């Protein structure tokens, strides 16, 4: 089977401090059949100067205004021609060999969504802890027992289009909503057992914000209703405990990280 073409989109909005590192982490991948698209809806911090510096090596630069990252990603993927898609935030990084590992997994699997693990890093790139993608189950997602590491997740272009792309109304959990949309569209999921990316966590990020846990709980209720078709019942607390136990039973390394370092969200 011929190596698939892989398209990666980065949306940058006033992320100049980290943008060059993110771009280089994609451009330095040892995979020839890679298409890279960078979107900037109107940064005012010099980000576009950084993009222009790499423009000759970027396949497509999109300067279009949007109403948030979800719409910006849709704008970027509208130009994509690959068989597999991935997206990297402007403050995250791909690790060396990540794209080649994704391509190999895609060739040996019929999965529509492939998720690796990631390292949580700080503003200076220092490793804080590992974070793991879970074996996907819609019911586990509904009950807070399954997450996929966004920068380490890639998906078939046909499934992305079939699911309708990103929901532009979602301003903070557009990646999680996409996984659900694809699952409801019949997607098959698989885990790649290696670290593929660095997810940067620092003051000012959505995940590190003080109200991150509150927003997570609100999104979790919406997610439960979408997947299960009802509101949580009186016994749902027991179900959530079951899926949390299941999560760590399937990946003891994730339990170790949780015990040693606490939760990722809102840290």
pLDDT digits (tens, 9 = 90+) for 33-77: 999 999 999 999 999 999 999 999 999 999 999 989 999 999 999
Percent of the chain's residues with pLDDT above 70 = 94
Q: Which residue from 43, 8, 4, 13 is spatially nearest to 27, judged by alpha carbons?
A: 8
| Number of C-beta neighbours around residue 8 at 10 A | 27
Q: Over range 89-108, report the average pLDDT.
A: 97
Burial class (CB in 10 A: 0-12, 13-18, 19+), 21: middle
Secondary structure (3-state) at 91:
coil
Q: Using alpha carbons only, give the angle 61, 62, 66 rounded to the nearest 5 degrees.
A: 155
Q: Which pTM does this prediction carry?
A: 0.93
- Cβ–Cβ < 8 Å for 255, 248: yes
CB 199 within 8 A of CB 121: yes
| Cβ-proximal residues to 222 (8 Å cutoff; 6+ apart), any chain | none
pLDDT in tens, 172-196: 788 999 999 999 999 999 999 999 9
Cα separation, 226 vs 222, in Å, equals: 6
Note the pLDDT tens digit of each residue in 99-109.
999 999 999 99
End-to-end CA distance of the chain: 43
Q: What is the mean pLDDT of residues 144-154?
A: 96
Q: Residues for the chain: how many in total? A: 267
What pLDDT score was predicted for residue 205? 60
Domains and CATH numbers, the chain: 6-261 (3.90.550.10)
The answer on pLDDT for 209 being more than 80 is no
In terms of C-beta distances under 8 Å and separation of at least 24 residues, what long-range contacts does 246-251 make, across chains too? 246/140, 246/145, 247/134, 247/140, 247/145, 247/146, 250/134, 250/135, 251/132, 251/134, 251/135
Region of 42 please: left (phi>0), alpha (psi -120 to 50) or beta.
left
């Amino acid at each position: 089977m011929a190596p698939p073409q892989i398209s990666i989109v980065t949306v940058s909005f006033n992320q100049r401090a980290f943008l060059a590192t993110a771009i280089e982490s994609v451009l330095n991948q040892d995979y020839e059949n890679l298409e890279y698209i960078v979107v900037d809806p109107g940064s005012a911090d010099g980000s576009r100067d950084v993009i222009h510096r790499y423009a000759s090596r970027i396949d497509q630069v999109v300067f279009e205004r949007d109403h948030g990252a979800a719409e910006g990603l849709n704008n970027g993927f509208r130009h994509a021609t690959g068989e597999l898609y991935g997206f990297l935030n402007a403050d995250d990084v791909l690790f060396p060999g990540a794209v080649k590992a994704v391509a190999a997994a895609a060739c040996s699997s019929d999965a529509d969504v492939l998720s690796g693990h990631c390292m949580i890093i700080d503003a200076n790139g220092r490793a804080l802890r590992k974070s793991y993608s879970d074996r996907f189950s819609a019911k586990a997602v509904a009950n807070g027992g399954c997450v996929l590491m966004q920068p380490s997740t890639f998906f078939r272009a046909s499934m992305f289009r079939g699911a309708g792309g990103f929901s532009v109304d979602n301003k903070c959990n557009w990646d999680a909503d996409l996984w659900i949309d694809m699952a409801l569209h019949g997607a098959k999921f698989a885990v790649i057992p290696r670290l593929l990316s660095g997810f940067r966590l620092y003051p000012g990020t959505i995940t590190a914000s003080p109200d991150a846990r509150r927003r997570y709980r609100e999104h979790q209720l919406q997610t439960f209703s979408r997947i299960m078709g009802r509101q949580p019942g009186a016994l749902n607390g027991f179900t959530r405990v079951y899926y949390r136990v299941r999560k760590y039973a399937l990946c003891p390394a994730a339990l170790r990280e949780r015990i040693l370092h606490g939760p990722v969200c809102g840290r």
